[in-house]
Amino acid sequence: MKSIRLVKKITRSRPTLEGAGVRLLRAFGNADLPLYDPFLMLDDFHSDQPEDYIAGFPWHPHRGIETVTYMIAGTVKHGDSLGNAGAIHSGDVQWMTAGSGIIHQEMPQRQKGTLWGFQLWVNLPAKDKMMKPRYRDLKAQDLAERKLESGARVRVIAGKFMGLAGPVKDIISDPEYLDVTLPEGVIFEHAIKGGHTVFSYVIIGQGFFDPSRQRTILAEHAVLFGDGENVAITAENGTLRFLLISGKPIGEPVAWYGPIVMNTEEELALAFEEYRNGTFLKS
C-alpha cells in the first residue's frame, strides 16, 4: 500500500503590497525559506476593485529564477528586454525563465468583475542560474484537461496526470502543476515522486488534505505536505478548487533580495551592480 503524504504545515496567505502598489495575498515567501524548496514564493492576486491592481508591476529585473503566471480571470499585458510583448488572458500561463537576466513589466488590465491570477517563483540551481532567458506563453486551449467520472476536473500545466502531459516541459525542477476542482465529498488521490516538495493552495471552498481529517483547510491557505507517495484530498461542504504543485528540491544556499535570487551575497551584490551600470543583460 502506498504511503499517503500527511499535512506538514498550514499557512494562511497574508496581505502584501507589491510592484507599484498592487494589493495581493502572499501564500509563502522569503520568510518561509527553505521549506518549499525549490519554490520561493506564491502570490495570489484577485480583486474586483481596479485600484487594487491597476498600478501593476512596471519595468524591473530578474535573475536566477523562473516566474510562472497563471490567470484565472482577466488580462495581464507584458513586455521584456528580449523584445517580447503580448498578453495572457483567462486560463493562460506564462512560464518565464529569467536565467542570466531579464528586465520586464507585467501590467494587469482594468476590467469589470474580478481579476484573478497567481504567480509562482521557482529557484534555479547554481549551475543554471546564468542560463539563457526564455519565455513560454501557453493559451488556455493548450492546457491538457480531464474530467473524471466523479465530476472532478484536472487541468495539467506541467507534469502528468492519468496519461495527460502538461505543455510545459524540460523544466529543471521537474515540476508538476495541476489545477484541480472537486465536487463535494469527492476524494482526489494522486501519486507524486518521493522526495519532491509538494504543496497545495486552496482557491475556492474547503476540504481535508490528508486521511487524518484533523483540520478543515479553507480558501487562501497553503498546505505543505510531508514526504510519501500519494496525496489524498477530499472536498467538504461544496466545491473545492486548489492548485497542487510539486518539484525537486535544490538544497543549495539562497541569497535573495527583491527580484533577484542567487547563491551568495557576493553574486547578489554583483547582479545589482550590473543592473546599475547597464551590464545586467547577458544575451
Domain residues of the chain, as ranges? Answer: 7-277
In whole angstroms, give the CA distance from residue 176 to residue 165: 10
Is the model's pLDDT at 276 over the cut of 70? yes
Residue 118 confidence class, pLDDT cut points 50, 70, 90: very high
Please tell me the number of Cα atoms within 13 Å of 61 on its side-chain side. 20
Residue 164 confidence class, pLDDT cut points 50, 70, 90: confident
Average pLDDT over residues 227-238: 95
pLDDT the model gives residue 136: 86
Question: Which residues, 6+ apart, have CB-to-CB distance to 7 below 8 Å?
Answer: 209, 210, 212, 214, 215, 217, 223, 224, 225, 226
Largest CA distance in the chain: 58
In this prediction, what percent of the chain has a pLDDT beyond 70? 99
pLDDT the model gives residue 233: 97
CATH of domain 7-277: 2.60.120.10
pLDDT the model gives residue 272: 97
Is the model's pLDDT at 1 over the cut of 60? no
pLDDT the model gives residue 268: 97
In whole angstroms, give the CA distance from residue 259 to residue 279: 17
Tell me the average pLDDT of the chain: 95
Is the model's pLDDT at 2 over the cut of 80? no
Record the pTM.
Answer: 0.96
* Secondary structure (3-state) at 70: strand
Cα angle 210, 220, 167; round to 5: 75
pLDDT the model gives residue 227: 95
Is the model's pLDDT at 283 over the cut of 70? no
pLDDT the model gives residue 115: 97
In whole angstroms, give the CA distance from residue 97 to residue 62: 9
Contact 11, 25 (CB under 8 A): no
CA distances from 22 to 14, 87, 107, 187, 236 (A): 13, 18, 10, 36, 32
